[in-house]
Chain A
Protein backbone atom coordinates (compact mmCIF):
# COMPACT_ATOMS: atom_id res chain seq x y z
CA UNK A 1 0.00 0.00 0.00
CA UNK A 2 2.81 2.32 1.02
CA UNK A 3 4.86 1.57 -2.07
CA UNK A 4 1.82 2.22 -4.22
CA UNK A 5 1.31 5.57 -2.51
CA UNK A 6 4.99 6.38 -3.02
CA UNK A 7 4.74 5.43 -6.64
CA UNK A 8 1.75 7.67 -7.15
CA UNK A 9 3.51 10.51 -5.33
CA UNK A 10 6.60 9.99 -7.46
CA UNK A 11 4.49 9.98 -10.59
CA UNK A 12 2.74 13.18 -9.59
CA UNK A 13 6.07 14.80 -8.74
CA UNK A 14 7.52 13.65 -12.03
CA UNK A 15 4.49 14.87 -13.96
CA UNK A 16 4.49 18.32 -12.44
CA UNK A 17 8.29 18.66 -12.57
CA UNK A 18 8.30 20.55 -15.87
CA UNK A 19 6.35 23.43 -14.38
CA UNK A 20 8.92 23.79 -11.62
CA UNK A 21 12.08 23.48 -13.67
CA UNK A 22 11.04 25.25 -16.83
CA UNK A 23 12.05 28.55 -15.34
CA UNK A 24 15.72 27.68 -15.53
CA UNK A 25 17.53 29.38 -18.39
CA UNK A 26 20.74 28.41 -20.11
CA UNK A 27 23.04 31.31 -19.38
CA UNK A 28 25.08 32.49 -22.31
CA UNK A 29 24.28 29.61 -24.69
CA UNK A 30 22.09 30.00 -27.75
CA UNK A 31 18.77 28.16 -27.40
CA UNK A 32 18.74 24.62 -28.72
CA UNK A 33 17.03 23.89 -31.99
CA UNK A 34 17.14 20.75 -34.09
CA UNK A 35 19.54 21.06 -37.01
CA UNK A 36 17.87 21.96 -40.28
CA UNK A 37 16.71 19.02 -42.36
CA UNK A 38 18.23 18.59 -45.76
CA UNK A 39 16.44 17.69 -48.98
CA UNK A 40 13.75 15.27 -47.97
CA UNK A 41 12.87 12.63 -50.53
CA UNK A 42 9.26 11.66 -51.06
CA UNK A 43 8.79 7.92 -50.63
CA UNK A 44 5.14 7.88 -49.66
CA UNK A 45 4.72 5.08 -52.21
CA UNK A 46 6.93 2.92 -49.99
CA UNK A 47 5.06 3.99 -46.86
CA UNK A 48 1.94 2.71 -48.62
CA UNK A 49 3.64 -0.44 -49.91
CA UNK A 50 4.93 -1.50 -46.50
CA UNK A 51 1.73 -0.35 -44.79
CA UNK A 52 3.60 1.59 -42.09
CA UNK A 53 0.27 3.19 -41.10
CA UNK A 54 -1.05 -0.17 -39.87
CA UNK A 55 1.05 0.30 -36.74
CA UNK A 56 2.62 3.76 -36.81
CA UNK A 57 1.24 7.24 -36.94
CA UNK A 58 2.70 8.58 -40.20
CA UNK A 59 2.69 12.29 -41.02
CA UNK A 60 0.38 13.18 -43.92
CA UNK A 61 -0.77 9.56 -44.30
CA UNK A 62 -4.18 8.43 -43.13
CA UNK A 63 -4.24 5.69 -40.50
CA UNK A 64 -5.21 2.23 -41.72
CA UNK A 65 -8.87 1.26 -41.23
CA UNK A 66 -9.71 -0.47 -37.97
CA UNK A 67 -9.74 -4.01 -39.35
CA UNK A 68 -6.17 -3.53 -40.56
CA UNK A 69 -4.80 -1.31 -37.82
CA UNK A 70 -3.06 -3.63 -35.37
CA UNK A 71 -2.25 -0.99 -32.77
CA UNK A 72 -5.42 1.09 -33.15
CA UNK A 73 -7.62 -1.96 -32.70
CA UNK A 74 -5.77 -3.07 -29.57
CA UNK A 75 -5.91 0.45 -28.17
CA UNK A 76 -9.65 0.64 -28.74
CA UNK A 77 -10.06 -2.66 -26.93
CA UNK A 78 -8.04 -1.45 -23.96
CA UNK A 79 -9.85 1.88 -23.94
CA UNK A 80 -13.16 0.03 -23.89
CA UNK A 81 -14.37 1.77 -27.05
CA UNK A 82 -14.25 -1.26 -29.34
CA UNK A 83 -17.81 -2.15 -30.38
CA UNK A 84 -18.20 -5.56 -28.80
CA UNK A 85 -19.92 -7.05 -25.76
CA UNK A 86 -18.58 -6.28 -22.30
CA UNK A 87 -17.63 -9.89 -21.58
CA UNK A 88 -15.56 -10.20 -24.75
CA UNK A 89 -13.98 -6.84 -24.12
CA UNK A 90 -12.95 -7.79 -20.59
CA UNK A 91 -11.51 -11.09 -21.78
CA UNK A 92 -9.55 -9.48 -24.60
CA UNK A 93 -8.23 -6.75 -22.31
CA UNK A 94 -6.72 -9.48 -20.16
CA UNK A 95 -5.16 -11.22 -23.13
CA UNK A 96 -3.86 -8.47 -25.35
CA UNK A 97 -0.41 -7.39 -24.32
CA UNK A 98 1.44 -6.79 -27.58
CA UNK A 99 1.00 -4.05 -30.18
CA UNK A 100 -0.63 -1.64 -27.77
CA UNK A 101 1.72 1.14 -28.81
CA UNK A 102 4.02 1.89 -31.69
CA UNK A 103 6.29 4.91 -32.05
CA UNK A 104 5.00 7.78 -34.13
CA UNK A 105 6.98 8.31 -37.30
CA UNK A 106 6.45 12.04 -36.86
CA UNK A 107 9.49 11.90 -34.60
CA UNK A 108 11.61 9.94 -37.07
CA UNK A 109 12.94 13.14 -38.60
CA UNK A 110 15.36 13.37 -35.69
CA UNK A 111 17.00 10.12 -36.74
CA UNK A 112 19.98 9.62 -38.99
CA UNK A 113 19.06 8.33 -42.39
CA UNK A 114 21.86 5.78 -42.33
CA UNK A 115 20.58 4.39 -39.05
CA UNK A 116 17.00 4.14 -40.35
CA UNK A 117 18.22 2.38 -43.50
CA UNK A 118 20.26 -0.15 -41.55
CA UNK A 119 17.45 -0.67 -39.06
CA UNK A 120 14.92 -1.35 -41.81
CA UNK A 121 17.26 -3.91 -43.32
CA UNK A 122 18.11 -5.59 -40.01
CA UNK A 123 15.65 -4.55 -37.29
CA UNK A 124 16.61 -5.20 -33.70
CA UNK A 125 15.17 -4.48 -30.28
CA UNK A 126 15.41 -0.75 -29.66
CA UNK A 127 12.54 -0.41 -27.19
CA UNK A 128 12.79 -3.05 -24.47
CA UNK A 129 9.39 -2.11 -23.01
CA UNK A 130 7.55 -3.04 -26.21
CA UNK A 131 6.65 -6.67 -26.74
CA UNK A 132 6.47 -6.36 -30.51
CA UNK A 133 9.43 -5.22 -32.56
CA UNK A 134 9.81 -3.78 -36.01
CA UNK A 135 9.25 -6.75 -38.32
CA UNK A 136 11.84 -7.90 -40.85
CA UNK A 137 10.27 -6.59 -44.03
CA UNK A 138 10.90 -7.89 -47.52
CA UNK A 139 12.63 -4.61 -48.31
CA UNK A 140 15.52 -4.04 -50.71
CA UNK A 141 18.55 -1.91 -49.86
CA UNK A 142 17.41 0.70 -52.39
CA UNK A 143 13.93 0.85 -50.87
CA UNK A 144 15.38 1.14 -47.37
CA UNK A 145 17.61 3.97 -48.57
CA UNK A 146 14.64 5.86 -50.04
CA UNK A 147 12.41 5.29 -47.06
CA UNK A 148 15.19 6.46 -44.74
CA UNK A 149 15.60 9.61 -46.82
CA UNK A 150 11.84 10.17 -46.57
CA UNK A 151 11.64 9.72 -42.82
CA UNK A 152 15.00 10.75 -41.42
CA UNK A 153 17.43 13.62 -41.74
CA UNK A 154 21.01 14.20 -42.76
CA UNK A 155 22.69 15.44 -39.67
CA UNK A 156 25.88 17.42 -39.81
CA UNK A 157 28.37 16.10 -37.28
CA UNK A 158 28.24 18.11 -34.08
CA UNK A 159 30.55 18.12 -31.11
CA UNK A 160 29.29 17.49 -27.66
CA UNK A 161 29.16 20.76 -25.74
CA UNK A 162 27.96 19.31 -22.46
CA UNK A 163 29.60 17.78 -19.44
CA UNK A 164 28.92 14.03 -19.29
CA UNK A 165 29.63 13.83 -15.56
CA UNK A 166 26.97 16.44 -14.90
CA UNK A 167 24.76 14.58 -17.32
CA UNK A 168 25.16 11.41 -15.24
CA UNK A 169 24.14 13.25 -12.09
CA UNK A 170 21.10 14.67 -13.88
CA UNK A 171 20.25 11.27 -15.33
CA UNK A 172 20.04 9.90 -11.82
CA UNK A 173 18.27 12.85 -10.22
CA UNK A 174 15.68 13.04 -12.98
CA UNK A 175 15.20 9.25 -12.73
CA UNK A 176 15.46 8.83 -16.51
CA UNK A 177 15.90 5.10 -15.83
CA UNK A 178 12.30 4.96 -14.75
CA UNK A 179 11.43 4.83 -18.46
CA UNK A 180 14.73 4.23 -20.25
CA UNK A 181 17.19 1.39 -20.20
CA UNK A 182 20.75 2.40 -21.00
CA UNK A 183 22.27 -1.02 -21.49
CA UNK A 184 25.97 -1.17 -20.77
CA UNK A 185 26.16 2.33 -19.27
CA UNK A 186 27.15 2.91 -15.65
CA UNK A 187 23.99 4.96 -15.07
CA UNK A 188 21.69 2.16 -16.22
CA UNK A 189 19.30 1.08 -13.48
CA UNK A 190 17.35 -2.03 -14.45
CA UNK A 191 15.51 -2.21 -11.14
CA UNK A 192 14.22 1.37 -11.34
CA UNK A 193 13.25 0.76 -14.97
CA UNK A 194 11.27 -2.34 -14.02
CA UNK A 195 9.48 -0.47 -11.25
CA UNK A 196 8.67 2.37 -13.65
CA UNK A 197 6.32 0.27 -15.70
CA UNK A 198 3.35 0.55 -13.34
CA UNK A 199 4.04 4.19 -12.55
CA UNK A 200 4.40 5.47 -16.08
CA UNK A 201 2.17 3.27 -18.23
CA UNK A 202 -1.00 5.18 -17.30
CA UNK A 203 0.51 8.09 -19.22
CA UNK A 204 -0.09 6.20 -22.44
CA UNK A 205 2.81 4.03 -23.31
CA UNK A 206 5.66 6.38 -22.42
CA UNK A 207 7.43 3.60 -20.55
CA UNK A 208 6.80 1.02 -23.25
CA UNK A 209 7.96 3.32 -26.03
CA UNK A 210 11.09 4.59 -24.29
CA UNK A 211 14.11 3.47 -26.32
CA UNK A 212 17.18 1.85 -24.84
CA UNK A 213 19.57 4.81 -24.88
CA UNK A 214 22.42 2.51 -25.84
CA UNK A 215 21.29 3.01 -29.43
CA UNK A 216 20.80 6.79 -29.22
CA UNK A 217 24.32 7.74 -30.37
CA UNK A 218 23.84 5.69 -33.53
CA UNK A 219 20.38 7.09 -34.12
CA UNK A 220 21.06 10.81 -33.55
CA UNK A 221 23.90 13.26 -33.14
CA UNK A 222 24.46 15.17 -29.91
CA UNK A 223 22.60 18.27 -31.02
CA UNK A 224 19.53 16.25 -31.97
CA UNK A 225 19.60 14.40 -28.65
CA UNK A 226 19.80 17.66 -26.72
CA UNK A 227 17.07 19.28 -28.82
CA UNK A 228 14.83 16.26 -28.31
CA UNK A 229 15.31 16.31 -24.54
CA UNK A 230 14.26 19.96 -24.43
CA UNK A 231 11.32 19.61 -26.81
CA UNK A 232 10.34 15.98 -27.28
CA UNK A 233 7.39 14.90 -29.38
CA UNK A 234 5.21 11.83 -29.21
CA UNK A 235 5.30 9.63 -26.13
CA UNK A 236 8.24 11.29 -24.38
CA UNK A 237 6.88 13.85 -21.94
CA UNK A 238 8.18 17.41 -21.95
CA UNK A 239 10.07 17.63 -18.69
CA UNK A 240 11.03 21.29 -18.82
CA UNK A 241 14.74 20.58 -18.90
CA UNK A 242 16.92 23.62 -19.46
CA UNK A 243 19.24 23.81 -22.47
CA UNK A 244 22.49 23.37 -20.54
CA UNK A 245 21.09 20.38 -18.68
CA UNK A 246 19.96 18.91 -21.98
CA UNK A 247 23.47 19.37 -23.39
CA UNK A 248 24.96 17.61 -20.38
CA UNK A 249 22.50 14.74 -20.73
CA UNK A 250 23.18 14.54 -24.47
CA UNK A 251 26.91 14.41 -23.80
CA UNK A 252 26.37 11.56 -21.37
CA UNK A 253 24.14 9.67 -23.80
CA UNK A 254 26.52 10.19 -26.71
CA UNK A 255 29.86 9.56 -25.03
CA UNK A 256 29.58 7.49 -21.89
CA UNK A 257 31.46 4.19 -22.22
CA UNK A 258 29.21 1.23 -22.97
CA UNK A 259 30.00 -2.29 -21.85
CA UNK A 260 29.09 -5.02 -24.29
CA UNK A 261 25.93 -6.81 -23.20
CA UNK A 262 26.40 -10.54 -22.65
CA UNK A 263 25.85 -12.40 -25.94
CA UNK A 264 22.51 -14.11 -26.17
CA UNK A 265 22.89 -17.69 -27.30
CA UNK A 266 20.28 -18.99 -29.71
CA UNK A 267 17.88 -21.44 -28.13
CA UNK A 268 18.85 -25.07 -28.44
CA UNK A 269 16.47 -27.18 -30.50
CA UNK A 270 14.89 -29.97 -28.47
CA UNK A 271 14.50 -33.55 -29.65
CA UNK A 272 11.05 -34.78 -30.63
CA UNK A 273 8.95 -36.21 -27.83
CA UNK A 274 8.09 -39.87 -27.38
CA UNK A 275 4.48 -39.15 -26.41
CA UNK A 276 1.73 -38.51 -28.93
CA UNK A 277 1.10 -34.85 -29.74
CA UNK A 278 -2.23 -34.15 -31.42
CA UNK A 279 -3.62 -31.22 -33.37
CA UNK A 280 -5.63 -29.92 -30.42
CA UNK A 281 -2.46 -29.38 -28.43
CA UNK A 282 -0.42 -27.62 -31.12
CA UNK A 283 -3.45 -25.63 -32.19
CA UNK A 284 -4.06 -24.31 -28.67
CA UNK A 285 -0.43 -23.67 -27.76
CA UNK A 286 0.94 -22.37 -31.02
CA UNK A 287 -1.26 -21.92 -34.07
CA UNK A 288 -4.37 -20.42 -32.49
CA UNK A 289 -2.32 -18.76 -29.79
CA UNK A 290 -0.12 -16.63 -32.03
CA UNK A 291 0.14 -17.62 -35.71
CA UNK A 292 -3.55 -17.22 -36.48
CA UNK A 293 -3.38 -13.46 -36.09
CA UNK A 294 -1.61 -13.05 -39.41
CA UNK A 295 -2.38 -16.38 -41.10
CA UNK A 296 -6.14 -16.71 -41.05
CA UNK A 297 -9.00 -17.25 -43.47
CA UNK A 298 -9.29 -14.77 -46.33
CA UNK A 299 -12.54 -13.23 -47.52
CA UNK A 300 -13.88 -12.10 -44.19
CA UNK A 301 -16.33 -9.93 -46.02
CA UNK A 302 -14.75 -6.61 -45.24
CA UNK A 303 -11.62 -7.96 -43.58
CA UNK A 304 -8.86 -10.16 -44.91
CA UNK A 305 -6.88 -13.22 -43.96
CA UNK A 306 -4.06 -11.23 -42.42
CA UNK A 307 -0.72 -10.25 -43.93
CA UNK A 308 0.49 -13.85 -43.89
CA UNK A 309 -2.48 -14.94 -45.95
CA UNK A 310 -3.84 -12.15 -48.11
CA UNK A 311 -0.57 -10.22 -48.10
CA UNK A 312 0.41 -7.00 -46.36
CA UNK A 313 3.37 -5.08 -44.94
CA UNK A 314 4.85 -5.39 -48.42
CA UNK A 315 4.58 -9.18 -48.45
CA UNK A 316 2.95 -10.98 -51.34
CA UNK A 317 -0.08 -13.13 -50.48
CA UNK A 318 1.06 -16.52 -49.12
CA UNK A 319 -2.42 -17.99 -48.78
CA UNK A 320 -1.41 -19.64 -45.52
CA UNK A 321 -4.28 -20.39 -43.15
CA UNK A 322 -3.09 -21.60 -39.76
CA UNK A 323 -6.53 -21.39 -38.19
CA UNK A 324 -7.64 -24.91 -39.05
CA UNK A 325 -6.20 -28.36 -39.62
CA UNK A 326 -7.23 -28.37 -43.26
CA UNK A 327 -5.84 -24.88 -43.68
CA UNK A 328 -2.35 -25.77 -42.48
CA UNK A 329 -2.46 -29.02 -44.47
CA UNK A 330 -3.27 -27.09 -47.64
CA UNK A 331 0.11 -25.35 -47.51
CA UNK A 332 1.20 -21.89 -48.58
CA UNK A 333 2.24 -20.20 -51.80
CA UNK A 334 5.91 -20.12 -52.68
CA UNK A 335 7.77 -17.16 -54.20
CA UNK A 336 6.38 -18.08 -57.62
CA UNK A 337 2.83 -18.18 -56.24
CA UNK A 338 2.54 -21.96 -56.42
CA UNK A 339 1.18 -24.04 -53.53
CA UNK A 340 3.74 -25.92 -51.47
CA UNK A 341 3.64 -27.87 -48.24
CA UNK A 342 4.69 -26.04 -45.08
CA UNK A 343 5.98 -29.38 -43.83
CA UNK A 344 8.41 -29.88 -46.72
CA UNK A 345 11.92 -30.58 -45.51
CA UNK A 346 14.76 -28.16 -46.05
CA UNK A 347 18.28 -29.33 -46.93
CA UNK A 348 19.12 -30.17 -43.34
CA UNK A 349 15.89 -32.14 -42.92
CA UNK A 350 14.08 -29.50 -40.85
CA UNK A 351 10.43 -29.04 -41.80
CA UNK A 352 9.94 -25.56 -43.30
CA UNK A 353 7.42 -24.53 -40.65
CA UNK A 354 9.79 -25.48 -37.82
CA UNK A 355 12.69 -23.70 -39.54
CA UNK A 356 10.71 -20.43 -39.52
CA UNK A 357 9.90 -20.79 -35.82
CA UNK A 358 13.53 -21.57 -34.94
CA UNK A 359 14.78 -18.67 -37.08
CA UNK A 360 12.99 -16.22 -34.82
CA UNK A 361 15.18 -17.40 -31.94
CA UNK A 362 18.26 -16.79 -34.08
CA UNK A 363 16.98 -13.29 -34.92
CA UNK A 364 16.42 -12.50 -31.26
CA UNK A 365 20.00 -13.52 -30.59
CA UNK A 366 21.12 -10.95 -33.16
CA UNK A 367 21.52 -13.23 -36.17
CA UNK A 368 19.46 -14.20 -39.18
CA UNK A 369 18.88 -17.31 -41.25
CA UNK A 370 19.39 -16.76 -45.00
CA UNK A 371 16.18 -17.31 -46.91
CA UNK A 372 14.11 -18.03 -43.80
CA UNK A 373 12.17 -15.25 -42.10
CA UNK A 374 11.72 -15.75 -38.39
CA UNK A 375 8.17 -16.29 -37.25
CA UNK A 376 6.14 -14.91 -35.59
CA UNK A 377 7.07 -11.78 -37.47
CA UNK A 378 8.19 -9.02 -35.11
CA UNK A 379 6.87 -10.83 -32.05
CA UNK A 380 8.73 -12.77 -29.35
CA UNK A 381 9.91 -16.20 -30.44
CA UNK A 382 7.66 -19.11 -29.60
CA UNK A 383 9.08 -20.99 -26.59
CA UNK A 384 11.43 -23.74 -27.69
CA UNK A 385 9.28 -26.31 -25.85
CA UNK A 386 6.31 -25.33 -28.01
CA UNK A 387 8.41 -25.64 -31.16
CA UNK A 388 9.32 -29.09 -29.92
CA UNK A 389 5.59 -29.87 -29.77
CA UNK A 390 5.12 -28.73 -33.37
CA UNK A 391 8.10 -30.76 -34.56
CA UNK A 392 6.87 -33.82 -32.68
CA UNK A 393 3.41 -33.44 -34.17
CA UNK A 394 4.87 -33.22 -37.68
CA UNK A 395 7.19 -36.19 -37.15
CA UNK A 396 4.23 -38.29 -35.99
CA UNK A 397 2.37 -37.70 -39.24
CA UNK A 398 0.38 -34.69 -37.96
CA UNK A 399 -2.30 -36.64 -36.04
CA UNK A 400 -5.62 -34.89 -35.68
Chain B
Protein backbone atom coordinates (compact mmCIF):
# COMPACT_ATOMS: atom_id res chain seq x y z
CA UNK B 1 0.00 0.00 0.00
CA UNK B 2 2.81 2.35 0.98
CA UNK B 3 4.70 1.40 -2.17
CA UNK B 4 1.65 2.15 -4.33
CA UNK B 5 1.14 5.52 -2.63
CA UNK B 6 4.79 6.36 -3.13
CA UNK B 7 4.64 5.33 -6.78
CA UNK B 8 1.55 7.46 -7.39
CA UNK B 9 3.20 10.41 -5.65
CA UNK B 10 6.41 10.07 -7.65
CA UNK B 11 4.51 9.72 -10.91
CA UNK B 12 2.56 12.86 -10.13
CA UNK B 13 5.77 14.67 -9.27
CA UNK B 14 7.47 13.65 -12.50
CA UNK B 15 4.46 14.32 -14.63
CA UNK B 16 3.62 17.78 -13.32
CA UNK B 17 3.78 20.12 -16.32
CA UNK B 18 6.51 22.70 -16.28
CA UNK B 19 5.31 26.26 -16.10
CA UNK B 20 7.31 26.95 -19.25
CA UNK B 21 5.08 24.67 -21.32
CA UNK B 22 2.96 26.60 -23.76
CA UNK B 23 -0.62 25.62 -24.35
CA UNK B 24 -0.29 25.19 -28.09
CA UNK B 25 -1.24 21.69 -29.12
CA UNK B 26 -0.33 20.32 -25.73
CA UNK B 27 -3.90 19.51 -24.90
CA UNK B 28 -3.51 15.76 -24.71
CA UNK B 29 0.05 15.91 -23.54
CA UNK B 30 -0.98 17.94 -20.57
CA UNK B 31 -3.76 15.73 -19.36
CA UNK B 32 -2.13 12.36 -20.01
CA UNK B 33 0.76 11.52 -17.75
CA UNK B 34 2.35 8.87 -19.95
CA UNK B 35 2.48 11.20 -22.94
CA UNK B 36 4.02 13.90 -20.79
CA UNK B 37 6.65 11.48 -19.60
CA UNK B 38 7.71 10.55 -23.14
CA UNK B 39 7.62 14.22 -24.13
CA UNK B 40 9.85 15.02 -21.21
CA UNK B 41 12.40 12.44 -22.36
CA UNK B 42 12.21 13.76 -25.92
CA UNK B 43 12.85 17.29 -24.72
CA UNK B 44 15.86 16.04 -22.76
CA UNK B 45 17.15 14.42 -25.96
CA UNK B 46 16.65 17.66 -27.87
CA UNK B 47 18.67 19.55 -25.28
CA UNK B 48 21.43 16.96 -25.30
CA UNK B 49 20.74 15.48 -21.84
CA UNK B 50 20.98 11.89 -23.05
CA UNK B 51 21.70 10.25 -19.72
CA UNK B 52 18.75 12.11 -18.20
CA UNK B 53 16.46 11.08 -21.06
CA UNK B 54 17.41 7.45 -20.49
CA UNK B 55 16.68 7.76 -16.78
CA UNK B 56 13.31 9.39 -17.38
CA UNK B 57 12.03 6.38 -19.28
CA UNK B 58 13.82 3.71 -17.27
CA UNK B 59 11.42 1.00 -16.21
CA UNK B 60 8.42 2.43 -18.05
CA UNK B 61 6.43 0.40 -20.53
CA UNK B 62 3.33 1.79 -22.18
CA UNK B 63 0.30 0.02 -23.53
CA UNK B 64 -0.11 2.58 -26.31
CA UNK B 65 1.79 1.25 -29.34
CA UNK B 66 2.75 4.68 -30.65
CA UNK B 67 4.13 5.75 -27.31
CA UNK B 68 6.02 2.48 -27.03
CA UNK B 69 7.66 3.15 -30.36
CA UNK B 70 8.63 6.67 -29.35
CA UNK B 71 10.13 5.25 -26.17
CA UNK B 72 12.33 2.95 -28.22
CA UNK B 73 13.30 5.96 -30.39
CA UNK B 74 14.54 7.72 -27.28
CA UNK B 75 16.37 4.68 -25.99
CA UNK B 76 18.00 4.09 -29.37
CA UNK B 77 19.29 7.67 -29.56
CA UNK B 78 20.57 7.45 -25.99
CA UNK B 79 22.38 4.21 -26.82
CA UNK B 80 23.88 5.79 -29.92
CA UNK B 81 25.04 9.01 -28.32
CA UNK B 82 26.41 7.42 -25.14
CA UNK B 83 27.94 4.42 -26.88
CA UNK B 84 31.21 2.83 -25.92
CA UNK B 85 33.29 0.68 -28.20
CA UNK B 86 31.96 -2.44 -26.49
CA UNK B 87 28.30 -1.73 -27.17
CA UNK B 88 26.50 -3.77 -29.76
CA UNK B 89 24.31 -1.31 -31.64
CA UNK B 90 22.84 -3.72 -34.15
CA UNK B 91 19.43 -3.30 -32.52
CA UNK B 92 19.66 0.48 -33.03
CA UNK B 93 20.31 0.00 -36.73
CA UNK B 94 17.41 -2.44 -36.95
CA UNK B 95 15.12 -0.07 -35.08
CA UNK B 96 15.79 2.97 -37.25
CA UNK B 97 15.76 0.87 -40.40
CA UNK B 98 12.29 -0.31 -39.44
CA UNK B 99 11.27 3.27 -38.68
CA UNK B 100 12.42 4.53 -42.07
CA UNK B 101 10.50 1.73 -43.74
CA UNK B 102 7.31 2.22 -41.73
CA UNK B 103 4.37 4.16 -43.12
CA UNK B 104 4.53 6.67 -40.28
CA UNK B 105 8.27 7.20 -40.44
CA UNK B 106 9.32 6.78 -44.05
CA UNK B 107 9.07 10.52 -44.75
CA UNK B 108 10.60 11.62 -41.46
CA UNK B 109 14.09 12.84 -42.19
CA UNK B 110 15.12 12.47 -38.56
CA UNK B 111 14.84 8.68 -38.73
CA UNK B 112 16.98 8.62 -41.87
CA UNK B 113 19.65 10.71 -40.15
CA UNK B 114 19.55 8.48 -37.08
CA UNK B 115 19.87 5.41 -39.27
CA UNK B 116 22.91 6.94 -40.94
CA UNK B 117 24.45 7.68 -37.54
CA UNK B 118 23.75 4.11 -36.45
CA UNK B 119 25.29 2.77 -39.68
CA UNK B 120 28.40 4.86 -39.02
CA UNK B 121 28.61 3.63 -35.45
CA UNK B 122 28.49 0.04 -36.63
CA UNK B 123 31.08 0.49 -39.36
CA UNK B 124 28.71 0.64 -42.33
CA UNK B 125 30.24 3.85 -43.59
CA UNK B 126 29.10 3.69 -47.21
CA UNK B 127 25.48 3.31 -46.18
CA UNK B 128 25.88 6.21 -43.78
CA UNK B 129 27.56 8.42 -46.39
CA UNK B 130 24.87 7.74 -49.00
CA UNK B 131 22.07 8.84 -46.68
CA UNK B 132 23.80 11.89 -45.25
CA UNK B 133 25.18 13.16 -48.56
CA UNK B 134 21.65 13.09 -49.94
CA UNK B 135 20.22 14.95 -46.93
CA UNK B 136 23.02 17.51 -47.02
CA UNK B 137 22.50 18.15 -50.72
CA UNK B 138 18.81 18.86 -50.04
CA UNK B 139 19.51 21.02 -46.96
CA UNK B 140 17.69 18.53 -44.76
CA UNK B 141 20.32 17.74 -42.14
CA UNK B 142 18.36 17.70 -38.87
CA UNK B 143 21.14 18.33 -36.37
CA UNK B 144 24.82 18.71 -35.61
CA UNK B 145 25.31 14.95 -35.30
CA UNK B 146 24.39 14.49 -38.94
CA UNK B 147 26.99 17.11 -39.93
CA UNK B 148 29.78 15.75 -37.79
CA UNK B 149 29.11 12.20 -38.95
CA UNK B 150 29.29 13.27 -42.60
CA UNK B 151 32.39 15.33 -41.81
CA UNK B 152 34.06 12.23 -40.44
CA UNK B 153 33.26 10.50 -43.72
CA UNK B 154 34.58 13.38 -45.87
CA UNK B 155 37.86 15.04 -46.60
CA UNK B 156 39.38 18.35 -47.67
CA UNK B 157 37.21 21.44 -48.09
CA UNK B 158 34.01 19.48 -47.76
CA UNK B 159 35.08 18.11 -44.38
CA UNK B 160 36.05 21.58 -43.22
CA UNK B 161 32.76 23.13 -44.34
CA UNK B 162 30.79 20.39 -42.62
CA UNK B 163 32.76 20.93 -39.44
CA UNK B 164 32.05 24.68 -39.60
CA UNK B 165 28.36 24.11 -40.18
CA UNK B 166 28.28 21.65 -37.32
CA UNK B 167 29.73 24.28 -35.00
CA UNK B 168 27.16 26.83 -36.11
CA UNK B 169 24.27 24.50 -35.46
CA UNK B 170 25.54 22.73 -32.36
CA UNK B 171 24.37 23.63 -28.89
CA UNK B 172 27.41 21.84 -27.53
CA UNK B 173 30.32 22.62 -29.86
CA UNK B 174 32.32 19.68 -28.47
CA UNK B 175 30.06 17.40 -30.47
CA UNK B 176 31.76 18.67 -33.64
CA UNK B 177 35.26 17.61 -32.60
CA UNK B 178 37.25 16.13 -35.47
CA UNK B 179 40.86 14.92 -35.55
CA UNK B 180 42.75 18.16 -34.89
CA UNK B 181 45.27 17.93 -37.72
CA UNK B 182 42.56 17.89 -40.40
CA UNK B 183 40.81 20.99 -39.16
CA UNK B 184 43.96 22.99 -38.44
CA UNK B 185 45.43 22.02 -41.80
CA UNK B 186 42.38 23.40 -43.54
CA UNK B 187 42.40 26.52 -41.38
CA UNK B 188 46.00 27.19 -42.42
CA UNK B 189 45.15 26.57 -46.04
CA UNK B 190 42.21 28.95 -46.01
Contact = CB atoms under 8 A, between A and B. Distances in A.
Interface in B158-172: 165, 168-171
Contacts of B113: 330
27 contacts: A67-B28, A77-B23, A84-B30, A88-B30, A292-B25, A293-B25, A299-B70, A299-B104, A300-B28, A301-B28, A301-B34, A302-B28, A306-B25, A326-B46, A327-B110, A329-B143, A330-B109, A330-B110, A331-B140, A337-B107, A339-B109, A341-B140, A397-B168, A397-B169, A398-B168, A399-B168, A400-B170
Interface stretch (A91-99, A110-118, A175-183): A91-99
Contact of B22 (A84, A85, A288, A398): A288
A315 interface: no
Contact of B31 (A83, A333, A344, A398): A83
Given A300-B28, A326-B110, A91 B171 contact: no
B138 to A, nearest CB: 6
B87 to A, nearest CB: 23
Among B32, B46, B70, B107, find the residue whose CB has the most chain A CB atoms closer than 10 A: B107
A119 interface: no
Nearest to B62: A301
Interface string B59-100: 000001011011000000000000000000000000000000
A293 B108 contact: no
B23 A326 contact: no
A302 B143 contact: no
Interface in B105-146: 107-110, 113, 138-144
Contacts of A83: 31
A329 B19 CA distance: 26
A210 B35 CA distance: 40
- What 5 A-B pairs are tightest by C-beta distance, nearest first? A303-B28, A341-B139, A330-B109, A293-B24, A296-B25
B143 A326 contact: yes
Nearest to B111: A330
Contacts of A297: 42
Given A330-B108, A400-B171, 6 more contacts: A292-B25, A301-B32, A306-B25, A325-B46, A329-B142, A331-B138
A292 B24 contact: yes
A351 to B, nearest CB: 10
Nearest to A341: B139
Nearest to B170: A400
A95 B20 CA distance: 13
B72 to A, nearest CB: 13
B29 interface: yes
B66 A301 contact: yes
Interface string A117-142: 00000000000000000000000000
A329 B141 contact: yes
A306 to B, nearest CB: 5
A326 B171 CA distance: 12
A324 interface: yes
B1 interface: no
A299 B17 CA distance: 19
B46 A324 contact: yes
B66 A299 contact: yes
B13 interface: no
B2 interface: no
A400 B142 contact: no
B25 A84 contact: no
A305 B29 CA distance: 11
B184 to A, nearest CB: 22
Given A301-B66, A337-B107, A92 B169 contact: no
A330 B28 contact: no
A297 B170 CA distance: 22
A240 B67 CA distance: 56
B6 interface: no
B189 interface: no
A170 B138 CA distance: 64
A300 B35 contact: yes
Contacts of B19: 87, 91
Interface centre among B27, B42, B46 (most CB of A within 10 A): B27
A288 B24 contact: yes
B29 A303 contact: yes
Nearest to B144: A400
A326 B17 CA distance: 22
A73 B17 CA distance: 18
Q: Which of B42, B110, B139, B165: most chain A Cβ within 10 A? A: B139
Contact of A343 (B35, B64, B108, B139): B139
Given A95-B23, A293-B24, A400-B171, A301 B35 contact: yes
Interface string A35-79: 000000000000000000000000000000011000001000100
A50 to B, nearest CB: 20
